Amino acid sequence: MIIFQEATEGTEAMASISEEKTLSVIDLIVNGGTGSILIIIVLFVLLFVAMYIYFERIFALKAASKIDKNFMNQIRDHVMNGKLEAAKLLCAQTDSPVARLTEKGVSRIGKPLDDINTAIENAGTLEVYKLEKNVSVLATVAGAAPMIGFLGTVIGMILAFHEMASSGGQAEMGSLASGIYTAMTTTVAGLVVGIIAYIGYNHLVNRTDKVVHQMEANAVEFLDLLNEPI
């Protein structure tokens, strides 16, 4: 009975020690001081901005990549039959970069092929600019977030050593260690935000490249159409 009671007391003691050593993420943020809290807030704002831009661009690119497989066949039929207004109307009814490039080319039919090609290229440049809207912000967040996190850690380290210097080297190691590993949470937060933004940026660049390739392929197909004998 005594042995069982001692084992129970030992288990309770170990549980209490474990509970004392357990520290939540919120506690780390709150215990980091005003500077750490401000930096974490800034990082959360950057994370929100990065996620908003990512999903907004994903939906925009998904819409831009959608086009009827028979679109170019219909354009070919209209152009070959001399129904240029019908071709323009079809392009206007199709909301996609490919349709807008094709409409620019159709409106230039009758002019030299080089002029048509130049008009399509200029329109393509504008479409690419629209597709890449705010994507550079993700790259900025991916680079800035880790540096902001490191800034918080450096500030925490400075404060910890300042406390040590102010106490004449008699500062408790527990308080110093607590300040240091709490300050490190800003680095972790910065790296997490930076990694998320970096992955999102590269994914958007890849999706944008696919849409640009689709635009180029359809532009070449349209120019080949103009070279076909009537």
Which residue range is the domain that position 126 belongs to?
27-225
pLDDT at res. 182? 64
pLDDT at res. 171? 57
Residue 19 lies in a domain: no
CB atoms within 10 A of CB 230: 6
pLDDT at 59 over 50: yes
pLDDT at res. 88? 84
Mean pLDDT of 68-79: 82
Burial 148-185 (b: 16+ CB within 10 A, else e): bbebbbebbeebbeeebeeeeeebeeeebebbeebbbb
Residue 177 lies in a domain: yes
| Residue 170 DSSP code | -
Average pLDDT over the chain, rounded to whole? 78
Map residue 178 onto helix, strand or coil: helix
Residue 35 lies in a domain: yes
Residue 150 lies in a domain: yes
Structure tokens at 68: 């009827």
Count of domains observed in the chain: 1
Cα 57 from Cα 62, distance rounded (Å): 8
Residue 230 lies in a domain: no
pLDDT at res. 49? 94
pLDDT tens, residue by residue, 113-142: 888 888 888 888 888 888 888 899 999 999
Residue 11 lies in a domain: no
Q: Whose CA is closest to 69, among 220, 218, 206, 216?
A: 218
67-81, 170-184, 202-216: range with highest mean pLDDT = 202-216
pLDDT at res. 169? 56
Residue 47 lies in a domain: yes
Mean pLDDT of 193-216: 92
Contact in structure between 105 and 114 (CB atoms under 8 Å): no
* Residue 70 one-letter amino acid: N
Q: Looking at 46-55, 174-183, 187-196, 212-221, which range is the least confident one? A: 174-183
Cα 180 from Cα 98, distance rounded (Å): 55
